[in-house]
Structure 1
Amino acid sequence: MTHAAPVPQAEGAVAGPVRSTCPYCGVGCGVLLSPDGAGGVTVKGDPDHPANMGRLCSKGSALGETVGLGHRLMKPRVGGVDTDWDETLQLVADRFRETVEAHGPDSVAFYVSGQLLSEDYYVANKLMKGFIGSANIDTNSRLCMASTVAGHKRAFGTDTVPQTYEDIEEADLVVLVGSNLAWCHPVLYQRLIAARKAKGTRLIVIDPRRTASCDGADLHLMLEPGSDVALFNHLFAALYENGMLDAAYLPNTSGFNATLASATSDDVSVTGLDPRDIDRFCRMWMGTEKVVTIFSQGVNQSSSGTDKVNAILNCHLATGRIGKPGCGPLSVTGQPNAMGGREVGGLANMLACHLDLENCDHRSAVRNFWEAPHAPDKAGLKAVDMFSAVGDGRIKALWIIHTNPAVSMPDADRVRDAIRDCPFTVVSDITDRTDTARLADVILPATAWAEKDGTVTNSDRTISRQRAVLPAPGEARPDWAIVAEVGQRMGWEAAFDYDSALEIFREYATLSGIAGRFGKDFDISGLSQLDAEGYDRMRPVRWPVTATREGGRFFADGQFFHPDGRARLVPVTWRAPATRTEPRYPFRLNTGRVRDQWHTMTRTALSPRLAAHLAEPFLEIHPEDARVLGIGAADLVEAESPHGQAILRARITDAVQPGQVFAPMHWTGETAPAARIDAVVAPVVDPVSGQPESKASVVKLTRMGAAWYAFAVSAGPFNPTSAYWARSVTRAGHRAELAGYTAPDDWEAEARRLFGLPDAEVAVMADPGRGTARLAFREAGRLVAAIFVSPEPVAVMRDYLATMPEVPDLSLLSGRAPADRPDPGPILCSCFDVGVNTILRGIEEQGLMTVDAIGAALQAGTNCGSCRPELAALLAAARSKEAAE
Structure 2
Amino acid sequence: MNAPLASPPSVKTTCPYCGVGCGVKATPDGLGGALVEGDRDHPASQGRLCSKGAALGETIGLSTRLLHPLVRGADGALARAPWDQALDRIAAGLRQVIDAHGPGAVAFYLSGQLLTEDYYAANKLAKGFIGTSHVDTNSRLCMSSSVAGHKRGFGSDTVPGSYEDLDAADLIVLVGSNAAWCHPVLFRRMEAARKARGTRFVVIDPRGTETAAEADLHLPLAHGTDALLFSGLLAHLAESSAFDAAYVRDHTTGFEAALASARAATPDAAATARACGLDEADVARFFALFADTARTVTCYSQGVNQSAVGTDKVNAILNCHFATGRMGREGMGPFSLTGQPNAMGGREVGGLANQLAAHMGFSPEEVDRVRRFWGAPHMATHEGLKAVDMFAAIGRGEIKALWVMGTNPAVSLPEADTVRTALAGLDLFVLSENVLDNDTAACSPHVMLPAAAWGEKDGTVTNSERRISRQRPFLALPGEVKPNWWALAQVAARLGHADAFRWRGPADIFREHAALSGFENAGTRDFDISAYAEIADAAFQDFAPVQWPAPRGRAQGTARLFAEGGYFTPDRRARFVAPRPVAAVRAEPPFPFILNTGRIRDQWHTMTRTGLSPRLGSHIPAPFVAIHPEDAAPLGLREGALARISSAHGAAVLEVKTDAGQKRGTLFAPIHWSEATSSHGRVGPLVHAVTDPVSGQPDSKATPAAIAPYEARFEGFILARRRIKPPPGLWWARAALEGGFGWRLAGDLGPEDWAGWVKAAAPADVAELVDAPSGLYRAAAFDQEGRLDFAVFIGPAGQRVAWDALKGLLAEETVSAADRRRVLSGRRAGAAVGGPLVCACFGVPKDSIIAAIRGGACDTSAVGETLKAGTNCGSCLPEIRRLLAETMVPV
Bucket of the pairwise TM-score, normalised by the shorter protein? over 0.9
Match of 2:157 in 1: 159
CA distance in 2, matches of 1:27, 1:330: 12
CA distance in 2, matches of 1:32, 1:102: 50
Match of 1:870 in 2: 879
Correspondence 1:249-398 to 2 at 5 A: 249-251=247-249, 252-267=251-266, 268=272, 269-357=274-362, 359-398=363-402
Match of 1:606 in 2: 612
Task: Write out per-residue CA displacement over residues 554-610 of structure 1, whole angstroms, 9 at most, x where no aligned residue.
Answer: 1101111111111100011342477x5112101111111111100000100111111
Decide which of 594, 598, 613 is 1:592's aligned counterpart.
598
CA distance in 2, matches of 1:194, 1:444: 45
Residue 725 of structure 1 aligns with an amino acid whose one-letter code is: W
Residue 35 of structure 1 aligns with an amino acid whose one-letter code is: P
Match of 1:4 in 2: none
**Retained in 1: the 8 A contact 2:171–2:200?**
yes
Decide which of 135, 147, 150 is 1:149's aligned counterpart.
147
1:728 partner SS: strand
Is 2:568 the partner of 1:575?
no
Match of 1:85 in 2: 83
Residue 679 of structure 1 aligns with an amino acid whose one-letter code is: P
Rate the CA distance shift 1:423–1:131 in 2: closer, same or farther, 3 A. same
Give the deviation of 1:883 after TM superposition.
Answer: 5.1
Give the deviation of 1:745 after TM superposition.
Answer: 4.1
Rate the CA distance shift 1:503–1:685 in 2: closer, same or farther, 3 A. same
Is 2:837 the partner of 1:827?
yes
Decide which of 82, 102, 105 is 1:104's aligned counterpart.
102
**Retained in 2: the 8 A contact 1:338–1:457?**
yes
Is 2:818 the partner of 1:812?
no
Is 2:470 the partner of 1:465?
yes
**Retained in 2: the 8 A contact 1:788–1:794?**
no
Root mean square deviation, CA, Å: 1.5
**Retained in 1: the 8 A contact 2:258–2:576?**
yes
Residue 615 of structure 2 aligns with an amino acid whose one-letter code is: R
Match of 1:493 in 2: 498
1:248 partner SS: helix
Residue 747 of structure 2 aligns with an amino acid whose one-letter code is: G
Q: Structure 1 residues 743-752 or 142-151, which shifts more?
A: 743-752
Give the deviation of 1:778 after TM superposition.
Answer: 1.9
CA distance in 2, matches of 1:461, 1:192: 19
CA distance in 2, matches of 1:97, 1:108: 10
Give the deviation of 1:741 after TM superposition.
Answer: 4.1
Match of 2:627 in 1: 621
Q: Across the two proteins, how many residue pairs are aligned to each other?
A: 863
Decide which of 639, 643, 646 is 1:640's aligned counterpart.
646
| Identity across matched positions, percent | 50
**Retained in 2: the 8 A contact 1:515–1:522?**
no
Match of 2:848 in 1: 838
Match of 2:563 in 1: 556
Q: Structure 1 residues 799-808 or 145-154, which shifts more?
A: 799-808
Give the deviation of 1:815 after TM superposition.
Answer: 2.0
**Retained in 2: the 8 A contact 1:303–1:577?**
no
Rate the CA distance shift 1:650–1:810 in 2: closer, same or farther, 3 A. farther
**Retained in 2: the 8 A contact 1:797–1:816?**
no
Give the deviation of 1:15 after TM superposition.
Answer: 3.2
Q: Structure 1 residues 804-813 or 233-242, which shifts more?
A: 804-813
Q: Structure 1 residues 479-488 or 763-772, which shifts more?
A: 763-772
Match of 1:43 in 2: 36
TM-score normalised to structure 1 length: 0.96
**Retained in 1: the 8 A contact 2:751–2:776?**
no
CA distance in 1, matches of 2:221, 2:481: 48
**Retained in 2: the 8 A contact 1:171–1:290?**
yes
CA distance in 1, matches of 2:184, 2:512: 35
Give the deviation of 1:811 after TM superposition.
Answer: 1.4
Give the deviation of 1:432 after TM superposition.
Answer: 1.6
Decide which of 12, 15, 20 is 1:19's aligned counterpart.
12
Task: Write out per-residue CA displacement over residues 843-882 of structure 1, whole angstroms, 9 at most, x where no aligned residue.
Answer: 11x2111011000001111111110110000001113xx3
Q: Structure 1 residues 863-872 or 769-778, which shifts more?
A: 769-778
Is 2:403 the partner of 1:405?
no
Residue 871 of structure 2 aligns with an amino acid whose one-letter code is: T
Residue 841 of structure 1 aligns with an amino acid whose one-letter code is: A
Residue 839 of structure 1 aligns with an amino acid whose one-letter code is: I
Correspondence 1:675-714 to 2 at 5 A: 675-714=681-720
Rate the CA distance shift 1:464–1:336 in 2: closer, same or farther, 3 A. same
Task: Write out per-residue CA displacement over residues 604-627 of structure 1, whole angstroms, 9 at most, x where no aligned residue.
Answer: 011111111111111111101110
Match of 2:75 in 1: none
Give the deviation of 1:149 after TM superposition.
Answer: 0.4
Give the deviation of 1:486 after TM superposition.
Answer: 0.6
Q: Which runs of 5+ in 1 are unaligned?
A: 1-12
Task: Write out per-residue CA displacement over residues 147-170 of structure 1, whole angstroms, 9 at most, x where no aligned residue.
Answer: 000000000111111010000011
**Retained in 2: the 8 A contact 1:411–1:683?**
yes
2:214 partner SS: coil
**Retained in 1: the 8 A contact 2:751–2:770?**
no
Residue 156 of structure 2 aligns with an amino acid whose one-letter code is: T
1:529 partner SS: coil
Is 2:756 the partner of 1:749?
yes
Q: Structure 1 residues 697-706 or 738-747, which shifts more?
A: 738-747
CA distance in 2, matches of 1:730, 1:704: 27
Task: Write out per-residue CA displacement over residues 790-842 of structure 1, whole angstroms, 9 at most, x where no aligned residue.
Answer: 22144323222221263444412222455x32111111001111000111111
Is 2:76 the partner of 1:71?
no
Match of 2:858 in 1: 849
Match of 1:230 in 2: 228
Rate the CA distance shift 1:517–1:14 in 2: closer, same or farther, 3 A. farther
1:800 partner SS: coil
Give the deviation of 1:242 after TM superposition.
Answer: 2.5
**Retained in 1: the 8 A contact 2:715–2:800?**
no
2:625 partner SS: strand
Decide which of 167, 170, 180 is 1:182's aligned counterpart.
180
Task: Write out per-residue CA displacement over residues 73-99 of structure 1, whole angstroms, 9 at most, x where no aligned residue.
Answer: 111001110000001101101101110
1:449 partner SS: coil
1:516 partner SS: coil
1:352 partner SS: coil
Correspondence 1:654-673 to 2 at 5 A: 654-673=660-679
Rate the CA distance shift 1:370–1:794 in 2: closer, same or farther, 3 A. farther
1:366 partner SS: helix
TM-score normalised to structure 2 length: 0.95
CA distance in 1, matches of 2:325, 2:569: 17
Task: Write out per-residue CA displacement over residues 646-698 of structure 1, whole angstroms, 9 at most, x where no aligned residue.
Answer: 00000111120111111110000100131101111001100000000001101
Task: Write out per-residue CA displacement over residues 288-333 of structure 1, whole angstroms, 9 at most, x where no aligned residue.
Answer: 0010000000000000000000000000011101100001000010
Q: Which runs of 5+ in 2 are unaligned?
A: 1-5, 73-77, 267-271
Correspondence 1:188-199 to 2 at 5 A: 188-199=186-197
Match of 1:55 in 2: 48
CA distance in 2, matches of 1:423, 1:356: 30
Task: Write out per-residue CA displacement over residues 209-264 of structure 1, whole angstroms, 9 at most, x where no aligned residue.
Answer: 11111233110111111110110000000011224310110121111111011111
Decide which of 8, 18, 31 is 2:24's aligned counterpart.
31
Give the deviation of 1:546 after TM superposition.
Answer: 1.7
**Retained in 2: the 8 A contact 1:76–1:443?**
yes
